[in-house]
Structure 1
Amino acid sequence: MRVILERSNLLKSLNHVHRVVERRNTIPILSNVLLGADGASLEMKATDLDLEITEATQANVEQAGSTTVPAHLLYEIVRKLSDGAEVMLKTDESGSSISVISGRSNFKLQCLPQSDFPQLSAGSFSHVFRLDSTSLKALIESTQFAISTEETRYYLNGIFVHTHEEGGKLMLRAVATDGHRLARAEVEAPAGSEGMPGIIIPRKTVSELQKLVDDPDVAVTIELSDTKIRFTIGSVVLTSKLIDGTFPDYERVIPTGNDKKLVIDRQSFAAAVDRVSTISSERGRAVKMSIAEGQVTLVVNNPDSGSATEEVAADYSSDPIDIGFNAKYLLDVAAQLTGGEATFMLADAGSPTLIQDPADERTLYVLMPMRV
């Protein structure tokens, strides 16, 4: 194999694919990226056996061929080469090493045979549809912060995506929860998504996807079956296994009878929560909201370091209520809201609270209270 390409093109593609490769691997080939030069492009592929990413970039292929090289090492070398440089990749005759040449720099890396590289067989996909990247990004960013990191409840370690009919319209809905909070967002379901199975997209796949959907003009092609999902975004193809589990009935958690309405300026509230939580313990992080007519008093007590209070003006006219929340969870939700205000629908100190964004009716958040 002998190929010449722009350093910027190579770096951009390596940046996408090398992130999938785990730093520590018991199987040596999984530390490598598969390079395949053919026609007028260089294709790169990396996998961790659950997730596979492929990207092709324009290149001058003088001799077609393929090999595998250590992904993180190659990425670091290319990253440190000078801007605007050309890079030549060429394997030796035996195929056991590859030279990375740019200007006066010459690196020689060990290769592993491409025949050892595992392929994530996709099988056949039952549903194919296209979604604009802005909608996909909105679904991910509105919900991914609530994904559980508790490995024992593996079925919560991702975003649940399914279709749902509302008011005669089919919606594509994304839900994530860790048992303490829940985030739900939806967009109009695209053609082709009718009858799709409810699927759970793993946390790592969601994280990689979030970094790829940054161009608002690109439509994303989504193919899925009961066990796999594939996203095609421009020249990048991301294939992932789905979480094999049953997502809980989240509708039961969303309160419908909360009748105490609190409307508060989002930025003032978030800044105040951030300030008073400075005093909270890392373990507890509890902030008490004393809600009375016209204002909310935020209170934090930490036996080890002291206390803090701050008052924030609010629109509230129901009975006074004291309720506690994890400060980090409040800040996470406030960061997702796009409008100037946040609406809290409350019941009592022990019941879940519904948080809505008046500027975006398609998202909602549920927070479980804490004892304070």
Structure 2
Amino acid sequence: MKATLERSTLLKGLGHVQSVVERRNTIPILSNVLIEANSDGSVRLMATDLDLQVVETVQASEVSTPGAITVSAHTLFEIVRKLPEGGQVSLDAAEGKMAIKSSRSRFNLPTLPRDDFPIIAEGELPTSFELPAAELIALIDKTSFAISTEETRYYLNGIFLHVADEDEPVLKAAATDGHRLARYTLSRPEGAAKMPDVIIPRKCVGELKKLLDENGDSNVLIDLSASKIRFTLKSTILTSKLIDGTFPDYNRVIPTGNDKLLKLDPSSLRESVDRVATIAQEKTRAVKMALDNDKVTLSVTSPDNGTAAEELSASYGSETVEIGFNAKYLTDILTQIEGDSVDLHLADASAPTLIKEHDKSPALYVLMPMRV
């Protein structure tokens, strides 16, 4: 195989695929990127960790000898990243080695044959629909922070995607770690009516977000079955296995009878929580909120670090309530509120709190209280 590519083209393509590759691999071939140069001048770059696969197609300046080979993904990426801008990079693979040439630089890397490289078999992907990249970005941003990192509850280690029929057909995304829940609702796209309920793994969500940030103005084609999902964005295809588990019925934890409404500025609340939490114990990060007539008092008491308190003006007309929250969980939710007002629907000190920007907001959050 012999091909010449612009450095910027090769760097961008390698950047998309190499981040899938785990730094430590017991299987040598999984550390490699598959490079496939075709006679039409296209070059396919592919990387996988056996659960997730990214394929990027780039255009070469010249393909002298079509062929395919695998080489260390991270090493090649670092080499190309450090080469001078604006140059051409020649990749020449033969007899177990790849020669990389650009300007005055010369590198020789060991290779492994393409036949050893594993490819995820997609099988049938019967459900197919499109979403604007901007909507998919919003869906990920508003929910992914609540994905659980607890491996024992593996079925919570992703975003749950499902369709539902309400006043209109909708597509919903939800994530929870047992302490907080985030849900985002979209109008159901054409073609998604019979899709199975799926859980998209955390790593896939992270890689998809990186790709979306570069393709925010396009549409994304989503094809899926009960076990696999494929995202097609311009020149990049991301394929992932889905989490094989049952997501809990999260609707049961969304409170419907919370009759105390607190309205205030989300950025002011976020900044205040952050300030008083400075002295909170690292383990619990507990902040107490005391709600009184049109004001909120935030306070923290730490046996080691002392006390902190801050008062905020707010719209509140119900009876006095004192409730505790984990400061990080509360600020994570408030960070997602884009408007200048947020609604907190409360019941009492032991009941979950419902948080929304407004009644018609596509995003909804539930936060469990803490004892303080």
- Aligned twin of 1:50: 51
Letter in 2 for 1:73: T
Give the corresponding residue for 2:196: 197
- For 1:256 and 1:28, locate their aligned partners in 2 and report how far apart those are by CA, in whole Å: 53
CA contact (8 A) 1:339 1:360 kept: no
- The alpha-carbon deviation at position 217 of structure 1 amounts to 2.1
Partner of 1:351: 351
Which residue matches 1:67? 69
Amino acid at match of 2:156: L
Provide the secondary structure at the position in 1 that maps to 2:50.
Answer: coil
Give 2:78's aligned amino acid: E
CA distance in 2, matches of 1:26, 1:216: 36
In structure 2, the residue matched to 1:187 is 186
AA aligned opposite 1:343: D
AA aligned opposite 1:77 = I
Distance in 2 of aligned mates of 1:78 and 1:33: 14
Q: How big is the shift at 1:40? A: 1.2
1:1-372 equivalent positions in 2, closer than 5 A: 1-38=1-38, 39-59=40-60, 60-92=62-94, 94=95, 96-167=96-167, 169-214=168-213, 215-358=215-358, 361-372=361-372
Question: Cα deviations across residues 293-328 of structure 1 (Å, max 9, x unaligned)?
Answer: 111100011111111100111000000100000000
Deviation at 1:18, TM superposition (A): 0.3
Q: Deviations over 1:323-358 (max 9, x none)?
A: 000000011001111111111000000000000012
Paired residue type of 1:204:
K
Amino acid at match of 2:300: V
CA distance in 2, matches of 1:186, 1:86: 46
Task: Flag the 1:326–1:334 CA change in 2: closer, same or farther, 3 A.
Answer: same
- Give the Cα–Cα distance (whole angstroms) in 2 for the partners of residues 360 and 88 of structure 1: 55
The superposition leaves residues 50-93 of structure 1 with CA deviations (integer Å, 9 ceiling, x where unpaired) of 0000001110211101100000111111111111111111112x
Post-superposition Cα deviations, 1:124-169, rounded to whole Å, max 9, x if no partner, equal 11111111111111111100000000000000000000011121x1
Q: TM-score of the superposition, structure 2-length normalised?
A: 0.98
Aligned residues: 369
Q: Distance in 2 between matches of 1:359 and 1:271?
A: 24
Q: TM-score, normalising length from structure 1?
A: 0.98
SS state at 2:272 partner: helix
> Which whole-Å CA distance do the structure 2 matches of 1:254 and 1:134 have between them?
27
Q: Provide the rounded CA distance (Å) in 2 between the counterparts of 1:264 and 1:52.
A: 44
**RMSD, aligned α-carbons:** 0.9
1:160-200 CA deviation, whole Å, 9 max, x = no partner?
Answer: 00011121x11110000000000000111111000110000
Unaligned runs of 5+ in 1: none
Superposed CA deviations along residues 199-236 of structure 1, whole A, max 9, x for unmatched, are: 00000000001111122321100000010000000010
- Kept after mapping to 2: 8 A contact 1:288/1:324: yes
The structure 1 segments of at least 4 consecutive aligned residues displaced by more than 4 Å after TM superposition are: none
Distance 1:312 1:113 in 2: 65
Deviation at 1:360, TM superposition (A): 5.9
Q: Secondary structure at the match of 1:361?
A: coil
Q: State the 1:359 CA deviation.
A: 8.5
Cα distance between partner residues in 2 of 1:211 and 1:271 = 28
**Separation (CA, whole Å) in 1 of partners of 2:97 and 2:333:** 50
Q: Could you tell me how far apart the structure 2 residues matched to 1:360 and 1:75 are?
A: 45
Q: Secondary structure at 2:152's aligned position in 1?
A: helix
Q: Which amino acid aligns with 2:183?
A: R
Deviates more, 1:356-365 or 1:280-289: 356-365
Identity across aligned pairs (percent)? 55
Cα pair 1:259 1:347 within 8 Å, conserved: yes
